[in-house]
Amino acid sequence: MRLLVLAALACVPGWPADRTAPPSESEIQAIIDKFAAKETEFARARENYTYRQRYKFEELGPGGRPSGKLEMEVDIVFTTEGKRTERVTFAPMNTLQRVQMTAEDEQDIRNVQPFVLTSKDQANYFVRYLGRESVDEIACYVFAIKPKKMVEGVRYFGGLIWVDDRDLQIVKTYGRGVGVGKKIASQRFPKFETYREQIDGNYWFPTYTVSNDTLNFESGPVPIKMVITYKDYKRFRAESTITFGDEVEKTPETKPPAKKQ
């Protein structure tokens, strides 16, 4: 089936016929347009999936030992009316001492760390082709991404993305959340890597985000570690909007591999 898809793509105007040769400017633009369209399909499909997201953020003290942490586990589910909702399943006491979670951090968790570049969002970013590289033996196009113009209160992604050169979907991102405004002048945001995995043999879903960074505040540097997992994706046929819910019990964390099924 994949060979048939590749044969069909080779017939599309602007698609690179020789995958070993550097693509021309028109071919690069065709690749960008096509993967943005595929990402648009994925973003729409993901709205109809339930999944579990677990977040752990740690301050690191001497010797790299955790000196404080913030954890939360959330189930993304649907109500009986078909509305998409976030249900907190685990939220122990926040013991962070030198770092405070802000509204911008929450926006990054929801939208930047699992970054999706849709056709609509494409106009907001400069997308520059860097070359080819493999991610876990998956041949990819590599692009540098940065916002063209930033609106106060809106969070953006800045960094690198790796796009599967066959499925034309993002399989890895590396960068940080960026934005402008007085509220974020004193804030620091960590660099992160997000890996995706192919779910249901179709779309690539975020499954693992990790950050090992140092946040350089005016009061001094704070080494941190952050891990986010996304698991148990299941399709639910419904249109959705997001609301917020209640706390229930804890379940364990897993780290899925970045691989193609």
DSSP string, 148-173: SS--TT--EEEEEEEEETTT-SEEEE
Q: Does any domain span residue 171?
A: yes
Q: CA 28, CA 6: separation in Å to the nearest integer?
A: 17
Report residues of the chain scoring pLDDT below 50: 1-15, 238-257, 259-261
Predicted confidence at residue 167, as pLDDT, reads 92
Q: CATH code at 170?
A: 2.50.20
Q: Are 169 and 35 in contact (CB under 8 A)?
A: yes
Number of CB atoms found within 10 A of residue 39's CB: 24
Q: Does any domain span residue 260?
A: no
Q: CA 45, CA 43: separation in Å to the nearest integer?
A: 6
Predicted confidence at residue 19, as pLDDT, reads 59
Q: What is the pTM of this model?
A: 0.81
Q: Does any domain span residue 82?
A: yes
Q: How far is CA 102 from the centre of its chain?
A: 19
Predicted confidence at residue 255, as pLDDT, reads 46
At 145-161, the pLDDT tens digits run: 999 999 999 999 999 99
Q: Does any domain span residue 18?
A: no
Domains in the chain, number = 1
Q: Does any domain span residue 74?
A: yes
Predicted confidence at residue 248, as pLDDT, reads 44
Q: Does any domain span residue 254?
A: no
Q: Does any domain span residue 154?
A: yes
Q: How far is CA 79 from CA 47, 239, 245, in A?
A: 14, 11, 10
Predicted confidence at residue 237, as pLDDT, reads 64
Residue 142's Cβ-side half-sphere holds a number of Cα atoms within 13 Å equal to 11
Q: Does any domain span residue 158?
A: yes
